[in-house]
Structure 1
């Protein structure tokens, strides 16, 4: 069962919930798709870590073959190619590795080479397999790394896979949730939190993913995010209080579900609720 955890911005508690659900499930894989700023490994502190590089193909030009026709320049919608002073220039930093320029070049002056854009690290923390994607600083897109993370045939068979998505609703988030069986939306109980919740809510609706929301940092009184969820018939899976004890555990990069019986019970219960939601959805579409 693949469960994606996402939020409209950083700092809502997305990693807190992903990490603790994986720890509560035990027989699980945790995949950190927040490749620009991964931090799940700080909590799990995995051992026996192995790394592999992730590379993409980018074009390079054989100047003696280039006729200056500019067909490749006109084709590239990312402006990764320019013809300057009678010379074709390739801007590696904005190339999206589509390969179209190579196909369109009538002189076969363009070929492809490999460029390393980041790495994937794999390790173990108790019964949880930890997979972390790391994008090199300055690279245009983390999508190739996320594709490698989610389609790695060497991953062990586990009952649960938890996908810690990047914040927001951009293409890297879309790539992260494509194969998810269920999406957990994480939101703060503020008006600003409603705006961010709406972003990811519209995204999961677009992908037709079953979903529910966890409300984090809850205080007594009005909760605009809860009201938003009720009005749109979004299942409220759980509410996490604004709690100093949890804050201290999180600040010290400790996993609450492993250190505190109260929060262990909470995340086990949250996982049970999500499993029931997934099974109910599966039954609804395949009665």
Structure 2
């Protein structure tokens, strides 16, 4: 296979890839950027439905459980004052039929209830909410989180993955779709946000959501138009209106669709490799300009 790598110099750069909805091409862009960059790290933060492994096909080296602290109440010590119930903003605690009740799936593990309890009737226990896989795919360090079924939020898994990202010149963070708390956690430590969109009215409306999120966190960002046709006037007009550049246009192409459906990387193909190499160089130039 021809060499598909490019070295981004000048320190580490963390790139968060966002989209306003699923199916836009966020993971497609993320895995191909990671594959095209030398000594890269890929982090799949879409913990409810991770699928980066389908393309990178990593060799998994380690799996770790992610645990959170949840309250456990000693009913013999509880006097029913309800201080904990009034404190909890997430409705993870209740007092039903004269007894305290904990809903662990709603708990955000803040620990406030145990601190407030005047009778010291609340202690914390660990509860598993998901797993993180560590591996390698050629020159790419691979991290992927999976949320256990029935859990309310993947934030604890994402937070732990972000802490464990290995040093690499380029880190690509494949964010969950939309603009939820999980997405916010994914982009906190990013240096740059790539906003993936389609050249449709629906794509435009979802682009506005993630652009607003990126700007709320004061992140520099740019647009990548996926499934681009000859006419991109709508997205070009939107880019001018939002004062945000378009860094890349990925064509609406049957060969690309076939490669994705088969779980193959477009960055390994001579026809499409320049798209991702040029995008990495553009990001490098943007980083140097910001510095």
Q: Same fold (TM over 0.5)?
A: yes
Q: Which residue of 1 aligns with 2:26?
A: 14
Q: Which whole-Å CA distance do the structure 2 matches of 1:102 and 1:248 have between them? A: 54
Q: Which residue of 2 aligns with 1:285?
A: none
Deviation track 1:39-77 (CA, whole Å, cap 9, x = no partner) reads 001111111431000000000111100001111111111
Q: Which whole-Å CA distance do the structure 1 matches of 2:195 and 2:217 have between them? A: 14
Q: Which whole-Å CA distance do the structure 1 matches of 2:131 and 2:141 have between them? A: 17
Q: SS at the partner of 2:227?
A: strand
CA contact (8 A) 2:60 2:133 kept: no
State the 1:222 CA deviation: 5.1
State the 1:140 CA deviation: 1.4
Q: Which residue of 2 aligns with 1:50?
A: 62
Q: Which whole-Å CA distance do the structure 2 matches of 1:137 and 1:223 have between them? A: 42
Q: Which whole-Å CA distance do the structure 2 matches of 1:205 and 1:47 have between them? A: 36
Q: Which residue of 1 aligns with 2:8?
A: none
Q: Which residue of 1 aligns with 2:239?
A: 229
Q: SS at the partner of 1:59?
A: strand
Summarize the alignment of residues 55-74 of structure 1 with structure 2, pairs less than 5 Å apart: 55-74=67-86
Q: SS at the partner of 2:124?
A: strand
State the 1:208 CA deviation: 1.0
Is 1:76 equivalent to 2:85 in the alignment? no
CA RMSD in angstroms comes to 1.1
State the 1:266 CA deviation: 1.4
Q: SS at the partner of 1:268?
A: helix
| Long gaps (5+) in structure 2 | 1-12
CA contact (8 A) 1:193 1:225 kept: no
Q: Which whole-Å CA distance do the structure 1 matches of 2:249 and 2:48 have between them? A: 28
Q: SS at the partner of 2:271?
A: helix
CA contact (8 A) 1:210 1:278 kept: no
Q: SS at the partner of 1:34?
A: coil
CA contact (8 A) 2:132 2:144 kept: yes
1:160 is matched with which residue: 146, 151, 170? 170
| Long gaps (5+) in structure 1 | 283-287
Paired positions, count? 279
TM-score (norm 1): 0.95
Summarize the alignment of residues 268-283 of structure 1 with structure 2, pairs less than 5 Å apart: 268-282=277-291
Summarize the alignment of residues 153-192 of structure 1 with structure 2, pairs less than 5 Å apart: 155-192=165-202
Summarize the alignment of residues 247-286 of structure 1 with structure 2, pairs less than 5 Å apart: 247-258=257-268, 260-282=269-291
